[in-house]
């Protein structure tokens, strides 16, 4: 069991994220991806993702095993809005912390020479980590980011209603069946015994799409207190946003960008980035390629770039190759 001890000051410093954190979703989805138990809600996603991964995902798996300790440096905070800013924070992890957390991982299983290089913050290993995280996010999460975002937004709204209707105690009492509020302690069903004393620092609650079985927190008590917990999902969430033919033509992330633009009358680069969980620079780059191909147009209003599909883009999205059965996917 995990016991989180609150002071009166901590009760006024509870923060609930209202959007998915790409780093927490990356780490927790890695746990689920390595879990061989049959999970009807995620089985399609697991099969599709495993089939599309390259060898770099194996590096990430050594840092986030499905059971036991996962490196805290993979989630250096909570509330990142895009994967690039999160990766930047990870790559700035102090060497001492990399060493300590790699040593904790090594207690459970042998590690590779790459892990040793990462523990010493050697630039090639850090670059490989950043590349592996980008590839994994683009392949496993970005195509489903709209579904993930909707589920977490719905949970955040429910937390807000609980707070308004019954205050902090109702908020803490209704997070998850495995979480119980026994003032001044929040008790969490957990695979190990752990105590967390907030001591006025407050607590960030991270609703997570890929959190499974039990809520998750960090091991290091000196880090900002955080608790990730599962949100509700529905069957069918994993229905592909784009088909293989469209992915093969454009690439998975770029196809998702085109779908997102096609779903809106006009969408700004920043809103496009938020919708897909990518950086604004990445969204701009994908939009540039699509614009040069003639499938989207871009106009500027008050300094903002606004994108819309062209007739060619609409024809591409509505073609038989962009459908699942009789249902258009974008």
* Per-residue pLDDT tens digits for 55-74: 888 889 999 998 889 999 99
Q: Which residue has the higher pLDDT, 4 or 242?
A: 4
Residues in CB range of 26: below 8 A, 6 or more apart: 60, 74, 83, 86, 133, 136, 137, 141
CA atoms within 13 A on the CB side of 76: 15
- Predicted model pTM: 0.74
Winning range, highest mean pLDDT, from 76-80, 83-87, 247-251, 274-278: 83-87
Across 202-213, average pLDDT: 93
CA distances from 276 to 65, 95, 183 (A): 26, 32, 39
Residue 326, pLDDT > 80, answer no
Provide, rounded to the nearest whole percent, the portion of the chain with pLDDT above 90: 51
**Torsional sign, CA 237, 140, 209, 150:** negative
Residues in CB range of 4: below 8 A, 6 or more apart: 185, 186, 187, 188, 196, 198, 203, 225, 227
pLDDT given for residue 324 in this prediction: 35
CB 259 within 8 A of CB 276: no
Tokens of 295: 């499938």
Residue 244, pLDDT > 60, answer no
Distance CA 111, CA 115 (A): 6
Residue 242, pLDDT > 70, answer no
pLDDT given for residue 38 in this prediction: 63
pLDDT given for residue 239 in this prediction: 57
Across 104-118, average pLDDT: 90
pLDDT given for residue 327 in this prediction: 35
Residue 329, pLDDT > 50, answer no
């Amino acid at each position: 069991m995990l016991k989180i001890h609150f002071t009166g000051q901590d009760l006024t410093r509870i923060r609930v994220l209202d959007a998915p954190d790409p780093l927490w979703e990356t780490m927790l989805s890695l746990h689920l991806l390595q879990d061989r138990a049959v999970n009807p809600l995620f089985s399609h996603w697991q099969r599709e993702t495993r089939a599309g991964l390259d060898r770099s995902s194996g590096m990430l798996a050594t840092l986030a095993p499905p059971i036991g300790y996962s490196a805290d440096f993979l989630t250096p905070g909570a509330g990142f809005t895009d994967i690039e800013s999160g990766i930047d924070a990870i790559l700035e992890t102090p060497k001492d912390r990399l060493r300590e957390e790699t040593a904790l991982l090594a207690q459970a299983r042998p590690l590779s020479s790459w892990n040793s290089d990462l523990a010493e913050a050697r630039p090639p290993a850090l670059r490989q980590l950043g590349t592996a995280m980008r590839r994994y996010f683009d392949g496993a999460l970005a195509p489903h980011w709209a579904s993930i975002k909707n589920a977490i937004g719905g949970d955040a709204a429910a937390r807000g209603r609980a707070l308004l209707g019954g205050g902090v105690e109702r908020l803490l009492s209704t997070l998850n069946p495995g979480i119980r509020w026994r003032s001044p302690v929040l008790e969490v069903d957990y695979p190990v015994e752990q105590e967390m004393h907030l001591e006025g620092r407050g607590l960030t609650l991270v609703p997570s799409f890929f959190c499974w079985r039990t809520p998750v927190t960090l091991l290091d008590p000196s880090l900002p207190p955080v608790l990730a917990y599962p949100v509700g999902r529905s069957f069918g969430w994993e229905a592909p946003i784009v088909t293989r033919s469209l992915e093969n033509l454009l690439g998975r992330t770029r196809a998702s960008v085109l779908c997102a633009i096609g779903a809106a009358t006009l969408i700004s680069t920043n809103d496009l980035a938020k919708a897909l969980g990518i950086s604004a620079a990445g969204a701009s780059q994908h939009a540039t390629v699509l614009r040069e191909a003639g499938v989207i147009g871009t106009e500027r209003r008050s300094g903002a770039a606004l994108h819309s599909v062209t007739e060619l883009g609409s024809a591409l999205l509505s073609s038989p190759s962009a459908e699942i059965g009789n249902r258009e996917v974008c």
